[in-house]
């Protein structure tokens, strides 16, 4: 009788195990499919059409035309090159300087360290638009504080946002300003997690401070460093998007346009859905390939404590 009673219970449990997970997953999956996966497919489809986004105007199939045109566009190559500059320019600010700071400041007293932590984290929580507004004010060629300081030292004021040679570095610096505290904290946390016994042992063996950094700290920090490098490469140009939009609009003369901004420009300034979608597909494929390679590299090259 006990067996007879347990059989339906068992069956119910199996049925439950079959359907329940999907019920719990449904709201999340539905959202992600509707707002991310379906749009990806749709972007792919639209990249073969010519259309100006007006519901009344027809969508004309143009095959690979959009792609050909984009690859023939000097603006596209300029944006691609700038995307590279953004990433390379951000690496020192988002990884190298924070790494040096984290190692250099590891023996500060915990009390003061907490105060510094709290302060250098502030840019991270400030909204990108607010950051852009404030820097626009600080960098104003006529009345900005930064130029006041430069003139006080006797140098010529700099047109931070309207000089084509300078503008991209200004945007990179502002993006870096938002990130530098955050990266420093990530690396400080990793640095503080290093087993003190290892350092003590090395010190006993007569290793110099520099040798300890080179042979123990850096290898043990490598997974955090690789993580930050990957984030910077994958997302660096994306972080700068807000500042480009608010501060330069991609100009002067396209000097600050990157690939993300170009997408925006195609889609919503020129209202060319086909170009925008084709650029989106190119970006997505490139981004995916890069992410794949980076994840493989991290798997292979990161060291672990134990």
Residues 58-97 binding another protein (CB under 8 A) are none
Q: Which residues, other chains included, contact 43 with Cβ-Cβ below 8 Å and sequence gap of 6+?
A: 277, 280, 281, 284
Smallest gap from Cβ 137 to another protein, in A, equals 6
Q: Does 24 bind another protein (CB under 8 A)?
A: yes
Q: Are 62 and 48 in contact (CB under 8 A)?
A: yes
Q: Does 35 bind another protein (CB under 8 A)?
A: yes
Q: Does 257 bind another protein (CB under 8 A)?
A: no
Q: Does 256 bind another protein (CB under 8 A)?
A: no
Determine the Cα–Cα distance for residues 231 and 234; give it in Å rounded to an integer: 5
Q: Are 175 and 91 in contact (CB under 8 A)?
A: no
Site for another protein, residues 219 to 248, rule: CB under 8 A: 227, 231, 234-235, 238-239, 241-242, 245-246
Q: Does 20 bind another protein (CB under 8 A)?
A: yes
Q: Convert 205-232 to b/e letters by CB count within 10 Å (16 or more is b).
A: eebeeeebeeebbeebbbbbbbbbbbbb
Smallest gap from Cβ 306 to another protein, in A, equals 18
Q: Does 28 bind another protein (CB under 8 A)?
A: yes
Give the nearer residue to another protein in terms of CB position, either 1 or 125.
125
Smallest gap from Cβ 301 to another protein, in A, equals 19
Site for another protein, residues 115 to 134, rule: CB under 8 A: 116-131, 133-134
Here the tokens at position 194 are: 């290093």
Q: Which residue has the tokens 């259309």?
A: 51
Q: Does 197 bind another protein (CB under 8 A)?
A: no
Among the listed residues 88, 84, 136, the one whose alpha carbon sits nearest the alpha carbon of residue 245: 136
Q: Does 21 bind another protein (CB under 8 A)?
A: yes
Among the listed residues 262, 256, 83, the one whose alpha carbon sits nearest the alpha carbon of residue 167: 256
Smallest gap from Cβ 269 to another protein, in A, equals 12
154 backbone φψ class: left, alpha, beta (φ>0; ψ -120 to 50): left
Give the per-residue contact string, 144-183, with another protein (x = CB under 8 A; - = no). -x--x----------------------------x-xxxx-
User: With CB under 8 A, what is the number of residues at the site for another protein?
Assistant: 94
Q: Does 260 bind another protein (CB under 8 A)?
A: yes
Q: Which residue has the tokens 């904290």?
A: 185
Stretch that binds another protein, among 71-79, 114-122, 163-171, 192-200 (CB under 8 A): 114-122
Give the nearer residue to another protein in terms of CB position, either 88 or 115.
115
Q: Which residues, other chains included, contact 184 with Cβ-Cβ below 8 Å and sequence gap of 6+?
A: 98, 101, 102, 120
């Amino acid at each position: 009788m006990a067996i007879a009673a347990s059989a339906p219970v068992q069956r119910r449990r199996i049925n439950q195990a079959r359907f329940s997970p999907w019920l719990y997953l449904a709201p999340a999956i539905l959202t992600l499919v509707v707002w991310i996966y379906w749009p990806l497919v749709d972007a792919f489809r639209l990249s073969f059409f010519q259309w100006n986004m007006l519901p009344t105007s027809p969508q004309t199939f143009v095959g690979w035309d959009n792609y050909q045109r984009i690859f023939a566009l000097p603006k596209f190559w300029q944006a691609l090159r700038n995307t590279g500059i953004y990433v390379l320019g951000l690496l020192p600010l988002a990884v190298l300087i924070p790494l040096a700071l984290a190692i250099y400041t590891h023996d500060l007293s915990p009390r003061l360290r907490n105060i510094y932590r709290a302060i250098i984290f502030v840019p991270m929580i400030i909204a990108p638009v607010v950051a852009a507004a404030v820097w626009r004010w600080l960098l104003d060629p006529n009345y900005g504080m930064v130029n006041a300081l430069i003139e006080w030292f006797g140098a010529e004021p700099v047109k931070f946002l309207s000089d084509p040679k300078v503008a991209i570095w200004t945007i990179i610096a502002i993006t870096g300003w938002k990130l530098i505290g955050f990266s420093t904290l990530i690396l400080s946390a990793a640095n503080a997690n290093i087993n003190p016994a290892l350092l003590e042992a090395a010190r006993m063996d007569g290793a110099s401070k520099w040798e300890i950094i080179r042979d123990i700290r850096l290898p043990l920090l490598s997974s955090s460093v690789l993580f930050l490098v990957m984030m910077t490469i994958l997302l660096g140009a994306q972080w700068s998007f807000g500042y480009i939009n608010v501060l330069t609009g991609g100009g002067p003369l396209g000097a600050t346009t990157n690939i993300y901004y170009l997408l925006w420009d195609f889609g919503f300034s020129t209202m060319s859905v086909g170009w925008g979608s084709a650029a989106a597909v190119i970006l997505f494929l490139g981004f995916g390939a890069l992410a794949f390679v980076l994840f493989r590299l991290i798997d292979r090259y990161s060291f672990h404590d134990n």
